[in-house]
Amino acid sequence: MTNYLIGSYQHNIDAKGRLTVPVRLREQLGDGFYVTRGLGGCLFVYPEKEWEAFLDDICSKPLSQAAGLQRYFLANCCQAEPDSMGRILIPKALRDFAGIVKEITFIGVGKRAEIWASEKLQAFDDAQTEEDIVEAMSTSLL
């Protein structure tokens, strides 16, 4: 069975832009992983294997389709390696993009994790309705 990333973890980012990666997610993400812009105002966090698959997919598309994707995801990507305390540095450009100032929520969402400014994730969650979820599920295999 695939080792999916799951769960929700609240943390604070320090004044230097460092945040602690939750132990459970850190074990699954491995020693080195990639942080880049996400969708909806969050940051995407990919384990190395999933990042490579993501890149292979983007780079296999014709340049006319892929140039914007490559710029969006690759130009602002950083490789993260947790220090001895399990912290990673999030570059200022990525913190600014995600609106991260102090409180963050790290969530596992399958093959990747996401880092959100906590208040932004709460607003996103509050806007979701049961009807939205039912509609999304109607197009899946569930």
CB 54 within 8 A of CB 16: no
Mean pLDDT of 82-101: 95
Q: How confident is the model at residue 64 (pLDDT cuts 50, 70, 90)?
A: confident
Work out the mean pLDDT of the chain and round it to a whole number: 92
The class (CATH top level) of 8-138 is alpha beta
Which pLDDT does position 140 carry in this prediction?
A: 64
- 105-136 per-position pLDDT tens digit: 999 999 999 999 999 999 999 888 898 888 88
Q: Provide the token pair at 106.
A: 């790290």
